[in-house]
Chain A
Amino acid sequence: MKKLLIKIAGLIIIVAALNTVINHLFYNKKLPYYWGNINTLDKRNFIVKNHTKFNTLFIGSSKLHYQLNPVLFDSIVNSVDTGKDKIRSYNFGVDGMMPPESLYIYKSLLEKDSLSFKTAIIELNFLPAIETKNMFTWRRYYWLNKDTYHEYTSSLLASKYSFPLKVWNLSLLDVLAIQKLYNIGKFNEYVEFKKDEFLPDTSKEATLLGFKPLHHPKSFSAQEIQKMQDVKSASIIADDNYNKWSDESENKTYAAYLNQIVVLSQKKGIRVIFLLPTQWNVKQYRELFPILDNIPERDKILVFNYKDHQPLFDPQNLFDNSHVDSAGARIYTGYVARGFMKIRYKH
């Protein structure tokens, strides 16, 4: 058995070496930074071509993609602001794009595509756990490099996850890193990527500036209603404990990473504003509040609490427990716009 195990180990090393060579000679040259997330393709191509038309960028998850209407946002802000510098915003929200993926994409837009804006509104979200079902999707780790690996592992260790979940996530992350090292299934992803590149669907994204409204469903199941209630309860509990949880231990690595993003943006003359939408559960708020506490008031917009944003929790304006429908999107955009104006005039 020893002989066989030695041979297998030898083979694993050789295959890793060959894959590293292939990676450097082929994938690194052929694949752009955003290739693992096909959903970003249209938006990235659009913004690169049209970046001079925009001075404000929203970046985050589906909670932006389906909820924030840039046309409405601009009209609200510009109707009050009569100065010369009109707001022209673009919604770079992509389904499931949470940190560190969203931060990686934002950083790459600045560094690799050399884009610049006056303002970047970054959606603040909890660090999502790696789900086993997503193990073989590149979305989970295409962004993984030496730096992001370090950031993510340190953030995970400092997160509010239970110890077993931290261990589980770290081991999954290492498996993902090994998968990446071995280029597992990579060529297929490359083909998928190229296929989409042939026919990018830019028309809809272009007309609504990255925003995609959701139509109100005909009805909700009892289970869905319960989930909506859970989101509302979490928001109420979080609001009641805002000050208490702010004093809890902070995920320093996550905070440092956000700070790094701010510094990088400032170098490019970009002002960063963090936007906190509703979260699914109390744990996520507990993770984010200490970080939020260290962000100055002038750099954050909070649209999470029930008290001040009741219509966002009303099933009449909801698509599901995580997103508002098109009517809710108008309300949500209004809240964000007012939060933005408050910052703008106050500071």
Chain B
Amino acid sequence: MLFNSFAFLVFFPVVTLLYFLLPHKFRWFLLLTASCVFYMFFIPQYIIILFVTITIDYWAGIKIASSTGIVRKRYLIISIISTILVLAIFKYANFFNSNVSALAHFLHWNYSIGALNIILPIGLSFHTFQSLSYVVEVYRGKHPPEKNYGIYSLYVMFYPQLVAGPIERPQNILYQFYEHHKFNYEDAARGLKQMAWGFFKKLVIADRLAAIINPVYNHPGHYSGGTLVFVTLLFAQQIYCDFSGYSDIAIGIARVMGFRLMKNFDSPYFSRSVSEFWTRWHISLSTWFRDYVYIPMGGSRVTKWRWYYNLFITFLLSGFWHGANWTFVIWGGLNGLYLIAEVITKEWRKKLSKAIGLHHIPIVEGYLQTFITVILISFAWIFFRANTLADASLIISKILSPDVFNINFSRFIDPYSLCLCIGFILLLELIQGYHKRINLVRYVAEKPSYVRFALYAIFLVVLLNFGIFSSKGFIYFQF
């Protein structure tokens, strides 16, 4: 079920009302049933995959806690392998197969294994990672195993974050299913406001941008370098609004029912460096890779070259997590290289700043750093969005040619859509910029009720009038 669908418009109030009407002891069951219904709106039979992984990890969690030594590790490995196996079959099998096939063709070998005819289960990478974090935390002794199978299933399947996160840790969410959440006006109001904000980002900005970006990226050869630069910058906004919009809606839904999910985005395009960007973009995934890949590999407390290696491998894996395509792998690797370059050039950049006197005007230095970060991140997005590697290289070659100065708006965008897109992006950045200085939610809450009401009403009118309500899926659902 999509958050921006008619079905959800009915589903959400019904489930929320029932949640508060039911006695506490039945609530987990209601949420689990609702989560199953939510998931089964996509491909119903795929719930069996979830059921299998949940059962294995639940069993492994209990076994890990009750064993010691090598046996304990064995259960962890069984759990990890079984979870990864599901990912490997459904997400990566065809990718590996096509690459082996290409290699065999290159070497003139006879290779006849065809592609598997399977559709990727929605949100597979998200709930498998959430399952993995559970068994690892139990193994590390940071969290006791969950005894209630239903509650553990709910941990994996909690519908607000089931298909696109935030990827939670057991410490943050499992105990909340045992808490008795009484209806809290503040929580409900805040949750609804966050949902409305998420819908604004998704329906008013992201989906509007998609209509402009998709035709250009589907046929990059037809457009000039200047157009491709412009559209790539728009894509940076689209993916932010799409994914952070989803996270806002998910966090908001949970909050209405009294649950707290972790923050997933923190105005990432205001970052002054790529490393800062990754602490503010998809925080639940970045911290997952930090805690379960980067730090176990030694993190930064190793030799210089090993540190670079750790950074690069972590981002390469992150890219591969996003999708079984070389474009995603290169996207991840490129971000890893950015971070390595950032570490290497740290002192040089400081010296350069001093030499040209930039450090005397920190505001200009800050804007310049933010600008460079946005450009680097947007450049990497080319690989993320391009349909193939050939498309990505075509786009880059056009961008790096004199064709970059050629931009013809009338070929790909009408003046109405252009004005709306730019207007709404500026509005979004303005609001987010202000929100960094003053807490806008609190600021509005302190105003007289008629002012608040008027502001909410205007916001909703804008959302309803300018939104695109054609139930387009969220970009991150494909992962």
Contacts and interface: CB of A to CB of B under 8 A. Distances in A.
Given A15-B460, A185-B470, 4 more contacts: A11-B453, A136-B469, A175-B6, A185-B467
Given A1-B183, A11-B453, A191-B414, A183 B189 contact: no
Interface string B150-165: 0000000000000000
A126 interface: no
A187 interface: yes
Given A15-B461, A185-B468, A191 B417 contact: yes
A194 B414 contact: yes
A161 B184 CA distance: 45
Contacts of B189: 4
B416 interface: yes
Interface residues of B, number: 26
A184 interface: yes
A135 B471 CA distance: 10
B464 A195 contact: no
Contacts of B456: 11
B211 to A, nearest CB: 9
B466 interface: yes
B6 A136 contact: yes
B464 A15 contact: yes
A129 to B, nearest CB: 16
B457 interface: yes
Interface string A123-141: 0000000001001110000
A191 B453 contact: no
Contacts of A184: 464-465, 467, 469
A19 B414 contact: no
Interface of A: 1, 3-4, 8, 10-11, 14-15, 18-19, 22, 132, 135-137, 175, 179, 182-188, 191, 194-195, 198
A136 to B, nearest CB: 4
Contacts of A18: 457-458, 461
A15 B457 CA distance: 6
Contacts of A194: 414, 416
Main secondary structure of the interface of B (DSSP, over half): helix
Contacts of B460: 11, 15
B457 A11 contact: yes
Given A1-B20, A4-B189, A183 B465 contact: yes
A136 B5 CA distance: 9
Given A1-B20, A191-B414, A191-B416, A14 B468 contact: no
12 contacts: A4-B188, A11-B453, A11-B457, A15-B460, A15-B464, A136-B470, A179-B469, A183-B461, A188-B466, A188-B467, A194-B416, A195-B414
A264 to B, nearest CB: 34
B453 A14 contact: yes
A187 B417 CA distance: 11
Contacts of A22: 461, 465
A180 B474 CA distance: 25
Given A1-B20, A14-B457, A195-B417, A136 B471 contact: yes
B416 A19 contact: no
Interface string B407-422: 0000000101100100
Interface string B279-313: 00000000000000000000000000000000000
Nearest to A21: B461
B464 A198 contact: no
A57 B24 CA distance: 66
B185 interface: yes
Contacts of B467: 184-185, 188
A198 B465 contact: no
Contacts of A132: 6
Interface in B444-464: 453, 456-458, 460-461, 464
Interface string B182-207: 01010011001000000000000000
B208 interface: yes
A4 B461 contact: no
A191 B418 CA distance: 11
Contacts of A8: 192
Contacts of B420: 191
A18 B183 CA distance: 30
Given A132-B6, A191-B414, A198-B414, A19 B468 contact: no
Q: Which among A186, A188, A191 has the greatest number of chain B C-beta atoms within 10 A? A: A188
